Amino acid sequence: MATYATPNSEIMMFSYSIGSVLLLLILALTQQLVPAVEFCAKNPEKTYGYGAVFSFLGYLGVQMVLTLIGISDAFIAVVVTTCRKAISIILSFLVFTKPFSFQ
């Protein structure tokens, strides 16, 4: 990325378009595409609404990681994302009750 000065948007476009084509092919080959489209047509507010929100938040997350890699290096980005995951797990144990939590 740094050698070719590729913008984040181009990296994301190619990776997501290749993934989308592969998923579409897999759904078509396993004959799960038509039931999925029918389910989305029956529940548009849940499927399309939640899909749009999750897509936007996922885009923001990937954009932040790619920006972090651009301004520093990959090691710093991995450390930051690993710390974020650890904090998320710790907060999950503190906020939500689980059979093996401290609450």
Whose structure tokens read 């954009």? 63
- Please report where in the chains the tokens 């990325």 appear, as a residue: 1
Residues present in the chain in total: 103
Cα 39 to Cα 27: distance, rounded to the nearest angstrom: 14
Answer yes or no: are the C-beta atoms of 63 and 12 closer than 8 Å.
Answer: yes
Question: In this predicted structure, which of 10-14, 29-33, 86-90 has the lowest mean pLDDT?
Answer: 10-14
Tokens 């939590």 belong to residue: 101
Domains of the chain, by residue range, sit at: 1-55
16-73 per-position pLDDT tens digit: 899 999 999 999 999 999 999 999 999 999 999 999 999 999 989 888 888 888 888 8
Any idea what DSSP says for residue 99?
T
Among candidates 71, 66, 50, which has minimal Cα distance to 14?
Answer: 66
